[in-house]
């Protein structure tokens, strides 16, 4: 038995044998046999859009690895910036490489003052922070016109450093704007995650240092959200980047995709769902409404994972460390009951619907003091390096512009009719 498939065109009897390589087959091979015939795959449910060496998922077994390292080990032992280096460069940094990388990021956290002072002037005070972030990141491209030179690897890395470094600053600025609080400047004496918490929550404290347990939980959440192969927002970044648009607008496009409740907006939707359920005793009735198709169980289900999302398991454990500091989130019992009921119900079991990364993360964010509207922003900050690792890989692969075909189902050719005779 050869590792290949054979496609036969029954109209002509012609056939082509295509080797199976790394679990895929090359579409260019059947294009020779079947010119003008397209494989229809809306939402790319069974289509690989690219080869990639960055992240590996095994949905059936709930496996997630960044550059070969299991997510469980990285969450326990690494930091977000070390994981960011790994995703971008393919290897964990040496001590010297790590120190240089941290120094680079630390010294690019500031925003141009024209940008910082005026980017919010155009928005209402209660503008959703994801709307602010998506537009701000695109606007940032106007401050770095050299970013259009996407062919130069050192220029690409300079923009990557700026985006990874500035996303927390932009995010915190959006939050402070929405709260009517003064902007908190980045500090170079704090690590990446502590600096973000300082820009978010310090009030007239030049020496703000976050609680170590909360800081560690934030670090773990950033690591878990850093990348996830060809998800919707990463696909958006790769598609927009394939036109050779600059990395700022490519990341802005990814922010837009992440904003949707089916994707990164789910963590915000989970909290609203738990609040709507309101009490432990209402869980069974809500589950019945989900099974009746009236509601979706937000934070459940996944295109790839048909088992427990490994990230959800880690977050569930981290939640207990946070609640030991902040006090238990009152919605936790509802979430735990919802999971218990759903995992025992054939409706969910048959559809392989398990908790995903978004089911428990919002409970932690809420207990740490983040408003619900900030939850997707907390997804976008760490995912920025994943988007950029894929954007960089796409350019290194010499990718052509993304331009899918279609199966036309419209009306046949017809002549224009004057308006008086319609």
Judge whether 326 and 340 are in contact, CB under 8 Å. no
Stretch that binds ligand SDX, among 72-80, 245-253, 325-333, 355-363 (CB under 6 A): 355-363
Element spanning 66, H or E: strand 63-66
Local structure of 383: helix, strand or coil = helix
298 binds ligand SDX (CB under 6 A): yes
In degrees and rounded to multiples of 5, residue 57 shows phi and psi of -115, 140
- Between 247 and 382, whose beta carbon lies closer to ligand SDX? 382
Query: Cβ 75 to ligand SDX, closest distance in Å?
Result: 14
Binding ligand SDX by CB under 6 A: which of 299, 310, 362, 382?
Answer: 299
Single out the residue of 262, 272, 320, 405 in contact with ligand SDX (rule: CB under 6 A): 262
Are the C-beta atoms of 297 and 353 separated by less than 8 Å?
Answer: yes
Minimum distance, C-beta of residue 261 to ligand SDX, in the bound complex (Å):
6
In 242-298, where does DSSP find H-type helix? 247-258, 266-277, 283-291
Q: How far is the CB of 357 from ligand SDX (least distance, A)?
A: 5
Nearest to 150 by CA among 395, 421, 418, 403: 395
Q: Is 376 in the site for ligand SDX (CB under 6 A)?
A: no
Number of residues that bind ligand SDX (CB under 6 A): 22
CB 340 within 8 A of CB 348: no
Cα 179 vs. chain centroid, distance in angstroms?
25
User: Which stretch, 17-25, 180-188, 294-302, 401-409, contacts ligand SDX (CB under 6 A)?
Assistant: 294-302
- What does the alpha-carbon distance between residue 201 and residue 199 come to, in Å, rounded to a whole number? 6
Token look-up 């960011």 returns 84
Residue 384 binds ligand SDX, judged by CB under 6 A: no
Of these residues, 80, 228, 302, 390, which one is catalytic? 302
Q: Which of 31, 289, 320, 351 binds ligand SDX (CB under 6 A)?
A: 351
Residue from 356, 367, 384, 392 touching ligand SDX (CB under 6 A): that is 356
301, 310, 362, 382: residue in contact with ligand SDX (rule CB under 6 A):
301
Single out the residue of 219, 252, 246 nearest to residue 233, CA to CA: 252
Closest CA to 14 of 38, 37, 30: 30
| 189: annotated active-site residue | no
**Shortest Å, Cβ 271 to ligand SDX:** 12
Q: Token digits for 258?
A: 């992440």
Phi, psi at residue 15, to the nearest 5°?
-135, 155
Instruction: Give which of 265, 279, 234 is closest to 385, Cα–Cα.
Output: 234
Closest by Cα among 191, 2, 184 to 79 = 191
Convert 186-206 to b/e letters by CB count within 10 Å (16 or more is b): bbeebbbbbbbbbbbbbeeee
Assign 6 to helix, strand or coil: strand
Residue number, 102 or 304, with CB nearest to ligand SDX: 304
Cβ distance 315 to 361 under 8 Å? yes
> x/- binding map, residues 212-231, to ligand SDX, per CB under 6 A?
----------------x--x
CA distance 91 to 292: 48
183 vs 130: CA distance, rounded Å: 18
* CB of 304 or CB of 341, closer to ligand SDX: 304
Distance in Å, CB of 288 to ligand SDX, minimum: 12
Cβ contact 63:55 at 8 Å? no
Residue (106 or 231) nearer to ligand SDX, CB = 231
Stretch that binds ligand SDX, among 20-28, 86-94, 125-133, 291-299 (CB under 6 A): 291-299
**Is 244 a catalytic site residue?**
no
* Minimum CB distance to ligand SDX, residue 68 (Å): 18
CB nearer to ligand SDX: give 175 or 300. 300
Q: Is 263 in the site for ligand SDX (CB under 6 A)?
A: yes
Q: Per CB under 6 A, which of residues 174..213 are in contact with ligand SDX?
A: none
Is 358 a known active-site residue? Answer: yes
Instruction: Report which residue's Cβ sits closest to ligand SDX.
Output: 301
User: Which is closer to ligand SDX, CB of 215 or CB of 263?
Assistant: 263
Asked if residue 247 binds ligand SDX (CB under 6 A), the reply is: no
Between the two ends of the chain, the Cα-to-Cα distance in Å is 62
Looking at the Cβ atoms of 88 and 224, the one nearer to ligand SDX is 224
Query: Which residues contribute to the site for ligand SDX (CB under 6 A)?
Result: 228, 231-232, 262-264, 266, 290, 296-304, 351, 353, 356-358
- The residues that are catalytic are 263, 302, 358
């Amino acid at each position: 038995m050869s590792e290949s498939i054979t496609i036969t065109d029954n109209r002509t009897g012609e056939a082509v044998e295509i080797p199976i390589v790394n679990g895929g087959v090359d579409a260019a091979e059947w294009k020779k046999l079947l010119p003008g015939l397209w494989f229809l795959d809306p939402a790319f449910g069974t289509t690989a859009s690219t080869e990639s060496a960055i992240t590996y998922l095994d949905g059936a077994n709930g496996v997630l690895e960044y550059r070969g390292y299991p997510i469980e080990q990285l969450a326990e032992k690494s930091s977000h910036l070390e994981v960011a280096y790994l995703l971008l460069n393919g290897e964990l940094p040496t001590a010297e490489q790590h120190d240089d990388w941290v120094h680079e990021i630390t010294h690019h956290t500031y925003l141009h003052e024209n940008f910082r002072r005026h980017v919010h002037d155009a928005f209402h005070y209660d503008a959703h922070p994801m709307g602010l972030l998506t537009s701000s990141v695109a606007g940032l491209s106007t401050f770095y016109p050299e970013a259009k030179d996407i062919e130069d690897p050192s220029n690409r890395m300079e923009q990557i450093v700026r985006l990874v470094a500035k996303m927390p600053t932009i995010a915190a600025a959006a939050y402070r704007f929405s709260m009517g609080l003064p902007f908190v400047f980045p500090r170079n004496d704090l690590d990446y995650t502590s600096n973000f918490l300082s820009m978010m929550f310090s009030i007239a404290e030049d020496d703000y240092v976050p609680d170590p347990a909360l800081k560690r939980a934030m670090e773990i959440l950033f690591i878990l959200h850093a990348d996830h192969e060809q998800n919707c927002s990463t696909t958006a970044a790769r598609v927009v980047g394939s036109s050779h648009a600059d990395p700022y607008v490519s990341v802005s496009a990814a922010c837009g995709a992440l904003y949707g409740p089916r994707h990164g907006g789910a963590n915000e939707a989970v909290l609203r769902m738990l609040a709507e359920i309101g009490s432990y005793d209402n869980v069974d009735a809500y589950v019945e409404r989900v099974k009746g198709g009236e509601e979706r169980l937000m934070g459940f289900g996944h295109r790839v994972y048909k088992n427990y999302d490994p990230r959800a398991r880690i977050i569930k454990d981290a939640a207990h460390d946070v609640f030991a500091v902040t006090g238990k989130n009152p919605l936790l019992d509802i979430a735990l009951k919802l999971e218990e009921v759903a995992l025992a119900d054939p409706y969910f079991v048959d559809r392989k619907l398990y908790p995903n990364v978004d089911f428990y993360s919002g409970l932690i964010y809420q207990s740490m003091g983040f408003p619900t509207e900030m939850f997707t922003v907390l997804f976008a900050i760490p995912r920025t390096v994943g988007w950029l690792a894929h954007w960089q890989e796409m350019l290194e692969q010499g990718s052509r512009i993304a331009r899918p075909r279609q199966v036309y189902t419209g009306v046949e050719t017809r002549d224009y009719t004057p308006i008086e005779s319609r």
